[in-house]
Chain A
Amino acid sequence: MSVAVVSPWIIGSGLLQVGLFLLGAPLLVGLMRTVRCRMEGRVGPPIRQPWRELRKLLLKSRSQPEHSTLVFAIAPVVLMATTLVVVWLTPLLSVRVTLSGGSDLFAIVFLLLLGSVSLSLAALDTGTAFGGMGSSRLMTIVALAEPALLVAILALAATVHSSSLATIMLAALHHPIWLVTPQRLLSFSAFVVVVLAESGRLPVDNPATHLELTMIHEALILEYSGPDLALIKLAESIRLTFLLALLANLFFPWGVSFSASGISLLIGTFVLLAKVAVLGVVISAGEVAVAKLRLFRVPELLAGAFMLSILAVLSALVIA
């Protein structure tokens, strides 16, 4: 299938998916913040607070550090663009949502990596100490987390002999027994760790910190302001939502629509929203109980995730 079969249906449902993520992702971040505040006994901001912040940022004017180049200027756009393409390519609402053949896991991991790399290049480009530090820290994490993610999905792919996400989900739906194999168990554990690391949550990074010594992600984007910052924040929240949705769909694929009807698409949408919301609540509840790891322990954590994902592949080979 070298030529993608493009029908209005596919375009439409793909756009629906992208729109849903664009609108919903900041709300998820708001939800997670609120849950966390409530569990810590604080009232917390309303769920739509991230949108308010974005609006505020959008109204501000852009600013660019002296001596920085084009790399700095386009990084937010690249990040946003790759993120949106990833969302568009991945079967999240319906397995028929995408260009067929496009939902390849290698392509998705590559695009995610591209976004991270552009951001860390931009941080280097500013020439500030924090930018360099954040960039090196991010690369340490990404270098471990991305392979782990890839291998974790590979373990699932090995079971169905295809690296297409749609095929993986369909196979799991058709053979419910496959939902409880050891490779899924191992791969799921790896996946969770990677998602936490990728999305800059505890115990790897604290999204709420601006303490120089410990911050990873905030250091990267310290020089951005205005609409650029808004773009980055939005893209990041979409990435978090995307990873949670991927986690939900790969390991709990029920509810994903696989017919071309509007009803099933609607059901798929609601089920996905519910799944992602539940995962978000669980993660932020977990974060309350966890302390941030010391930075040099983070590679250890991710190496663990990597080990689990390789064990998952090995198990898949043994059981196959």
Chain B
Amino acid sequence: MRSDSLSAALLALTSGLVLLGAAVALWRRTARGIVQALRVQGFALAGTAVILGVQLHVALLLVTGALLIVVKAFFIPFLLRRLVRLDPTGGESDPVVNVPASLVAAVLLTLAAFVATRPLVQVIHGVPITLAPFGFATVLIGFFVLVARRRAVSQMVGLLLIDNGIGLVALLLTTGVPLLVELGGTLDVLLVVVVLRVLATRMHAELGDLDLDALRELHD
């Protein structure tokens, strides 16, 4: 990376923040802390959009940035926060994979993401592309959260991490997929989160808890 331009440095910073958010979400046990990490990611994503928009003079990216702030930094954390209140025992008391092991896993996954995106970075040049591995790493960490955590809220967080990672890749790689698709993507995630919240509320009514381990009836 040529570090002489401010926007390049800022882009690197926001991308790093997205990965940092993912790492913190894996690290923290309290649901509140995790939601906070997601909010930081939301701001970082919006920041990425705005920086790219200013740098490339694309007004639509500014719109995307505003949208991202509204949805990812405020609305989704708001939804999750209300769900957390339903779940007074809070966070992950006894995760399937313990925290230090999952941190090691996160490091390995990040490494894997950095290696896997090598071809991409080598083929196409430019500052944003070199930062794409951060997004891929976030996606993989999201997967890990999804597999290793058994609270309803944690699984939603996993999905959101995946989505934020993809959002970052989308912004960096293509400097914005056509807005129509971007909008569709954001809206879909919003809907998925809303649906999951409805299901979680139902779960709470049914089980009095938000622990997915209570739902283990269906298997072969």
Contact = CB atoms under 8 A, between A and B. Distances in A.
Direct contact of A and B (CB under 8 A): yes
Interface stretch (A87-95, A250-258, A279-287, A312-320): A312-320
Contacts of A177: 3-6, 8-9
Most buried by B among A189, A308, A318: A318
Interface secondary structure of A, over-half rule:
helix
A316 B5 CA distance: 17
B114 A318 contact: yes
Nearest to A179: B9
A286 to B, nearest CB: 15
A108 interface: no
Contacts, number: 83
A311 interface: yes
12 contacts: A177-B5, A177-B6, A181-B3, A186-B19, A300-B103, A307-B23, A307-B104, A308-B23, A311-B20, A314-B114, A315-B19, A319-B130
Given A178-B3, A307-B106, A317-B114, A186 B13 contact: no
A232 B209 CA distance: 51
Interface string B1-37: 1011110111011011101100100010000000000
B130 A318 contact: yes
Contact of B107 (A178, A310, A319): A310
Nearest to A317: B114
B12 A181 contact: yes
Given A182-B134, A303-B103, A307-B104, A319 B12 contact: yes
B193 interface: no
A311 B23 contact: yes
B99 A300 contact: yes
Given A186-B23, A319-B12, A319-B131, 18 more contacts: A177-B6, A178-B9, A180-B10, A181-B9, A182-B16, A185-B13, A185-B20, A299-B100, A300-B103, A303-B104, A304-B103, A307-B103, A307-B106, A307-B107, A311-B20, A314-B110, A314-B114, A319-B1
Interface of A: 175, 177-178, 180-183, 185-186, 189, 299-300, 303-304, 306-308, 310-311, 314-315, 317-320
A307 B110 CA distance: 10
A317 B27 CA distance: 23
B16 A175 contact: no
Nearest to A175: B3
Interface of B: 1, 3-6, 8-10, 12-13, 15-17, 19-20, 23, 27, 99-100, 103-104, 106-107, 110-111, 114, 130-131, 133-134
Contacts of A319: 1, 12, 130-131
B211 to A, nearest CB: 21
Contact of B103 (A306, A315, A320): A306
Nearest to B99: A300
Nearest to A182: B16
Given A308-B23, A311-B110, A319-B130, A182 B15 contact: yes
A301 to B, nearest CB: 8
Contacts of A303: 99-100, 103-104
A175 B12 CA distance: 15
B140 to A, nearest CB: 12
Main secondary structure of the interface of B (DSSP, over half): helix
Contacts of B6: 177
Given A314-B114, A315-B19, A319-B131, A180 B100 contact: no
A316 to B, nearest CB: 11
A49 to B, nearest CB: 35
Contacts of A304: 23, 27, 99, 103
Contacts of B8: 177
B3 A183 contact: no
A178 B131 CA distance: 15
Given A177-B9, A315-B134, A185 B17 contact: yes
A45 B104 CA distance: 44
Contact of B111 (A181, A183, A300, A314): A314
A318 B129 CA distance: 11
Contacts of B104: 303, 307
Nearest to B111: A314
Contacts of A185: 13, 16-17, 20
Q: Which of A189, A304, A307, A320 has the most CB of B within 10 A?
A: A307
Contacts of B9: 177-178, 180-181
Contacts of A318: 114, 130-131, 133-134
A294 to B, nearest CB: 11
A146 B212 CA distance: 38
Contacts of A317: 114
